[in-house]
Amino acid sequence: MADASSSTQELASKEPKPPSAGPLLEVSGIVKSFGRTKVIAGVSFHVAAGEFLTLLGPSGCGKTTTLRIIAGFEQADKGRVFLKGEDVTTRPPYLRDVHTVFQHYALFPHYNVFDNVAFGLRIQKLPKRQIKTRVTEVLDLVKLSGYEKRRTTEMSGGQMQRIALARALAGRPSLLLLDEPLGALDLKLRREMQLELKAIQRRLGIAFIYVTHDQDEAMAMSDRIVVFHHGRIEQIGTPSEVYRKPKTSFVADFMGSANILSGRLIGFKDGCVRIRLEDEVEVEFPYADPLPVAQGQALCVAIRPERISVRYEGDLPLRGSCVSLPAILADTVSLGDETQMFLAFFKNSTKTVLSATMEARHQNERRDGTPVWADIRWRDILLLEPEGE
């Protein structure tokens, strides 16, 4: 903060935050239906001051509606929203200290860049001079100084996104909502903007709630991720928690990819679990974490493709702390640097397991049907609750 420019320091030193113990925003038990479709079925989470929280999920999972309820554009059927400890559930959007960056920018086409950014400040009736300095500051922050007089309709997508961001930041909200703000940009620009957004968020210390369906984006930017699925929260955690310790098979598969196998917990003794995979193959390995189900019950087993290492007859096995399973090589696909191998473990099922590797030696293709060994470290076998419905 010491070397930050004066303008950002000014922006960051918003009104002194009251030393409230509670979270900045709390959403509790939100339910929302449109007609007969239930879009959100009981969602609760909180956001701390200065936190970057991502709502992640496939399209139609309720994340955007949740955002619109926080902003005040929609009213929840059930549940409450607290902002700085105050109940704002029924408050209209203009009485909430929250600003939104919309997916399609929603810039006012009849205003130029300056007037767009100044809109909220003029509504607040700030003195003219103050409006001018604030607009200059935020335009500087998003690297668009000198564009004040331009019409927004003649700017590129990336520039419009920056103006939308500047407009939302100009009012110095304590919480910024971003609804897939980079969705309309091409990949390269998106990566650039991700870094920039994250940097701006850190510098200003404003809490962000960021909605996206792109798990890479979520991993790259967030302090914590809320994974949505069918209007419910599947898991809340830091990016590495969500990636390494997914709670459900949906999370395991959505965050990166995973082989999801059905299994049954048939034994647990001395910290060692015994699992029957796909009703056929039995494996036994030590497992330290709490078990998701009781003995004898069905569960899901998730293994990430990049965590399965394949060796051929005669190769040295992976040293210790892993299970080794015999398999048949079903297919090999080369994706440039990465090689994907499909392994058949089971006789009764046609289900194959994917292994992905960057190792060059797998690139000289073996014939399909070659017997191989698959080595999987104990800690890479994730035991999850069985899939609902």
Partner 1 sequence: MKRRPTAPRRKKAPQRGGLWGATEKLSRLRKTNGLLAYCLGLYGFLYLPLAVMVAFSFNGARRNVVWTGFTFKWYASLFHNAEMARAMATTLEIAVAASVMAAAMGMLAAYAMTRHAPFRGRGLYAALLNAPLMMPEIVMGVGLLSFFSRVGLPLNFWSLACAHALIALPYTTGSIRARLLSLKDSNLEDAAMDLGATEWQAFRQITLPLARPAIISGALLAFTVSFEDFVTTFFIAGIGIVTMPIKVYSMMKFGVTPEVNALASCLLVLTIIALTINRTLVKETKS
Q: Which of 89, 100, 174, 332 binds partner 1 (CB under 8 A)?
A: 100
Check binding of 157 to partner 1 (CB under 8 A).
Answer: no
Between 96 and 247, CB nearer to partner 1? 96
Smallest separation (angstroms) from partner 1 to the CB of 69: 13
Q: At what angle do helices 157-170 and 113-123 cross, to 10 degrees?
A: 20
Between 105 and 345, CB nearer to partner 1? 105
Check binding of 91 to partner 1 (CB under 8 A).
Answer: no
Task: Tell me how far CA of residue 138 lies from CA of 9, 96, 283, 377, in angstroms.
Answer: 12, 21, 58, 50
Q: Which stretch binds partner 1 (CB under 8 A): 96-104, 187-195, 261-269, 371-379?
A: 96-104
Backbone angles phi, psi at 368, to 5 degrees: -60, 140
Q: Which two tokens stand for residue 129?
A: 């001079």
Smallest separation (angstroms) from partner 1 to the CB of 126: 11
Smallest separation (angstroms) from partner 1 to the CB of 152: 11
C-alpha 119/C-alpha 26 separation (Å) is: 28
Smallest separation (angstroms) from partner 1 to the CB of 103: 8
Between 57 and 72, CB nearer to partner 1? 72
Between 116 and 339, CB nearer to partner 1? 116
Check binding of 99 to partner 1 (CB under 8 A).
Answer: yes
* Binding to partner 1, residues 45-74 (CB under 8 A): 71-73
Helix (H), strand (E) counts: the chain:
9, 20
Check binding of 220 to partner 1 (CB under 8 A).
Answer: no
* Binding to partner 1, residues 124-143 (CB under 8 A): 124
CB 249 within 8 A of CB 229: no
Between 106 and 283, CB nearer to partner 1? 106
224: β partners:
53
Q: Which stretch binds partner 1 (CB under 8 A): 16-24, 120-128, 191-199, 295-303?
A: 120-128
Pick from 8, 287, 328, 49: nearest CA to 142 = 8
Check binding of 123 to partner 1 (CB under 8 A).
Answer: yes
Check binding of 171 to partner 1 (CB under 8 A).
Answer: yes
C-alpha 143/C-alpha 61 separation (Å) is: 34
Please give the distance of CA 248 from its chain centroid, rounded to a whole number: 15
Q: Which of 46, 104, 191, 379 binds partner 1 (CB under 8 A)?
A: 104
Smallest separation (angstroms) from partner 1 to the CB of 199: 24
Smallest separation (angstroms) from partner 1 to the CB of 190: 21
81: β partners:
27
Pick from 255, 226, 237: nearest CA to 67 = 226
Between 109 and 336, CB nearer to partner 1? 109
Sheet holding 259-269, edge to edge: 281-286, 272-277, 259-269, 298-303, 382-384
Amino acid letter for position 212: T
Name the H helices within 46-127. 63-71, 113-123
Q: Which two tokens stand for residue 44?
A: 């609760």
Rounded CA Rg of the chain:
25
Check binding of 98 to partner 1 (CB under 8 A).
Answer: yes
Contact set with partner 1 (CB under 8 A): 71-73, 92-94, 98-100, 102, 104, 106-110, 119-120, 123-124, 167-168, 171
